[in-house]
Structure 1
Amino acid sequence: MQLPTAVRQYLLITFNYWSFTLTDGALRMLVVLHFHNLGYSPLSIAMLFLFYEIFGVVTNLVGGYLGARLGLNRTMNLGLGMQVFALGMLLVPTSLLPLWLAGVPWVMAAQALSGIAKDLNKMSAKSAIKLLVPKGEQGKLYHWVALLTGSKNALKGAGFFLGGALLAVLGFNAAVAAMMASLAVVWLLSLMLLKRDLGKAKNKPKFTEIFSKSTNVNILSAARLFLFAARDVWFVVALPVYLSSQFGWGHSAVGGFLALWVIAYGIVQTQAPKLTGGKKSAVANALDADAQATNVQVPDGRSAILWAFLLAFVPAFIALALMIGISPFVTVTLGLLLFGVLFAINSSLHSYLIVSYANDEAVSLDVGFYYMANAMGRLIGTVLSGWVYQSYGLAACLWISTLLIATTAIISIKLPR
């Protein structure tokens, strides 16, 4: 039996997103471990991702505008093609580059292009879901967003493992070449099969409309900025280097451990609709046609406050345990598991809320603005991760994470309930 068009397009978009995420996660781990092995300091490694995050901020603003003007199929395919090119840049021999561009500047340029590609791809995938789900079916929308977000992060975890394993088995250049060839095949398939003009606005928006006029979108975007800064301040650079230097783990061990963490994190995200809402009452089902199909209470601002406050206690607990001398191995591993569960729920809940709040007529504009804030948070967290860890250690990164999550919860008080 042939699947409905909307379902086929959802599966294709998800496959594109999965494939991109696998190479993106692997590339991040490859770069962190490869340059750590070459003797680069944590702050220097963080700087390699500086342009990746900076261009992510710009891309989400402009990408949402382009998605509304040109169609989400074009922005998604553009992102895939740019990632293929970025991987190819890393294969260029240093001897062929000008002296001022060789080494770190060239890697930063490749990471910048990869950052643009990643955010074009993500913005396109998240925006497209709203257009594929029938209007008003919020429960179904929450399920589809949670499934896409969770499965993507599970694949990102697999990418971490793949990056560490490929570096150990093939070396840096061969690993990058293999990923480039695989993603090029996916890109060609997407060019042929993805529906044209998906998400293209009927009334072409002006460039000045890239900044959201929705109060709810603005508040949620601010909360998202602090949430992701709180994660990346200890996860991006500090944690992989800590695991390698303090526990003596090799590349495959670090990549494998973080891979399992992100995979579990992604699985929890797919279950977020069950964990954050519960089932609706019989009365609510009778009043809400959507509930009859999903039987799930969709979250609101109250849910965002509660789950953010719960999350804030976890990095504080890990930091305190490290400071009073409890086993670092037990503290970090168990703390990471609890942090992963609660952060996954927070992230999935936010991902649903932005798609729900977004304007139907130009969904990519609101989604792009929101992920601009997400990228800004990642940028802040990445820079802080290298600087704070190098200067003060992992515990300091965790205390800053606690403060940032508490700020997320306070901002979320303004969200509609």
Structure 2
Amino acid sequence: MSPAIRQYLIITGNYWAFTLTDGALRMLVVLHFFQLGYSPLEIALLFIFYEVFGVITNLVGGYLGAHIGLNRTMNIGLLLQVVALGMLAVPAAMLSVPWVMGAQALSGIAKDLNKMSAKSGIKLLVPGSEQGKLYKWVALLTGSKNTLKGVGFFLGGALLMLVGFRGAVIIMGVALMVVWLSSLVLLTQELGKSTAKPKFTDMLSKNRAINVLSLARMFLFGARDVWFVVALPVFLHTVFGWDFWQVGGFMAVWVMGYGAVQTLAPRFTHRNGKATPGRRVAVVWAALLTGIPAAIAIGLNTDLPAQIAVIGGLLLFGLVFAVNSSLHSYLIVSLARADGVSLDVGFYYMSNAMGRLIGTLMSGWVYQVYGLEACLWLSSIFLLIATVSVAQLSLPQSPDDSIGATSYSG
């Protein structure tokens, strides 16, 4: 096994372990605080620091990774998540809103340090001439992460029922501490240090293609979270009458399936293992996604049973969204410069975090005031903006750049 493969496996293992706790914690907070009587908007506000600090972390984290190396930023992220879980393990009387928001802020910093480090690290482990391999490795990392996030959703709901909120965060904190200690020993290769030390102003991308792709990413993930983060779990519990096991289990299965599709995205977007996707493919898949939330909203106003409209539509949304996400993840890693890769990737995922922030806040407020249908219509509007944005990308094209066969050398 080559050193590059060993480092890839360690990075992936760290990312997987972190993702389990991240998914479980999100489900724990949503269900536990709804159980305590918090409104959907109040629950959304608990995540505001998680998303705000995610935006800041991606921007500053790229600069930090270029200075100290991606192995260190990944280990810092793991440690911060352990601290965040420890903060939530205090007695219930101490779990005030400011305290929970503070813990969520640390978790947001930890999550995006971890993600930025993992995605940037892959760029440096794959030779620049092997774009097909890069696409597959990025798709595998992204898809497996989301599959495990789905497992985390189920784990969060199950642990809440079995050991309660405090017991759940203690178990996760201890397990992640073991992972962190192992990573300190095993993740030894220096990755991502820039040979020319970047200036602080270099955090903001000056590359038009990366800026355009970042704008599309912001609205893509805003479109998902505007109905998935708060509105959907509350809707399933209050309208369909599902208990926490069912809500957590269903959302877990959805995210796991979504992650599985992400790993297979190269098969959906091209027939030739050497081909990699370009702008037109990204536009086609974004356009396909745009109409799905609107179709679900329309279905809720017909004679079609609501469970078929929501669940069936969500499954279709997950499939098409997964391909879009993998396409975007590959394009940013491919476009990023090799020297100081974390700066470009960090800026891009800053936009991703901004989209999640907007989506999370709108999910709580729009659902509380207008209901699920309004969240779905807003999702389609966001996706239309994402489609128009990605259409502005200037990438090398081949004559047969289509949904079936593409060619792009980043």
SS where residue 360 of structure 1 aligns? coil
CA distance in 2, matches of 1:325, 1:9: 54
Give the letter for the 1:60 counterpart.
N
Other-structure match for 1:65: 63
Report percent identity of matched pairs: 65
In the TM superposition, residue 278 of structure 1 has moved relative to its aligned partner by 1.5
Q: Is 2:371 the counterpart of 1:378?
A: no
- Equivalent residues in 2 for 1:16-415 (5 A)? 16-93=14-91, 103-279=96-272, 295-415=273-393
Other-structure match for 2:408: none
Give the letter for the 1:154 counterpart.
T
CA distance in 1, matches of 2:290, 2:199: 39
Give per-residue Cα distances to partners, 1:20-55, cap 9 Å, x unaligned. 000000000000000011111000000000000000
Alpha-carbon RMSD: 0.9
Q: Is the 8 A contact 1:126 1:145 kept in 2?
A: yes
Give the letter for the 1:122 counterpart.
K
Any unmatched runs of 5+ in structure 2? 398-410
CA distance in 2, matches of 1:338, 1:296: 28
Other-structure match for 2:402: none
CA distance in 2, matches of 1:196, 1:67: 13
SS where residue 203 of structure 1 aligns? coil
Give the letter for the 1:386 counterpart.
G
CA distance in 2, matches of 1:22, 1:93: 23
Give the letter for the 2:269 counterpart.
T
Give the letter for the 2:154 counterpart.
F
In the TM superposition, residue 195 of structure 1 has moved relative to its aligned partner by 2.1
Give per-residue Cα distances to partners, 1:257-278, cap 9 Å, x unaligned. 0000000000000000010122
In the TM superposition, residue 335 of structure 1 has moved relative to its aligned partner by 0.4
Q: Is the 8 A contact 2:86 2:173 kept in 1?
A: yes
Q: Is the 8 A contact 2:7 2:189 kept in 1?
A: no
**Structure 2 length-normalised TM:** 0.95
Over 6 Å off, 4+ runs: none
CA distance in 1, matches of 2:167, 2:78: 20
In the TM superposition, residue 326 of structure 1 has moved relative to its aligned partner by 2.0
Give per-residue Cα distances to partners, 1:140-159, cap 9 Å, x unaligned. 00000000000000000000
Q: Is the 8 A contact 1:68 1:365 kept in 2?
A: yes
Give per-residue Cα distances to partners, 1:303-338, cap 9 Å, x unaligned. 111000000111010000102342111111100110
Aligned length: 395
In the TM superposition, residue 91 of structure 1 has moved relative to its aligned partner by 1.2
In the TM superposition, residue 171 of structure 1 has moved relative to its aligned partner by 0.4
Give the letter for the 1:375 counterpart.
A
In the TM superposition, residue 300 of structure 1 has moved relative to its aligned partner by 0.8
SS where residue 381 of structure 1 aligns? helix
Give per-residue Cα distances to partners, 1:127-171, cap 9 Å, x unaligned. 000000012110000000000000000000000000000000110
Give the letter for the 1:55 counterpart.
F
CA distance in 2, matches of 1:44, 1:116: 21
Q: Is the 8 A contact 2:91 2:166 kept in 1?
A: no
Give the letter for the 2:46 counterpart.
L
CA distance in 1, matches of 2:311, 2:338: 42
**Structure 1 length-normalised TM:** 0.94
Other-structure match for 1:5: 3
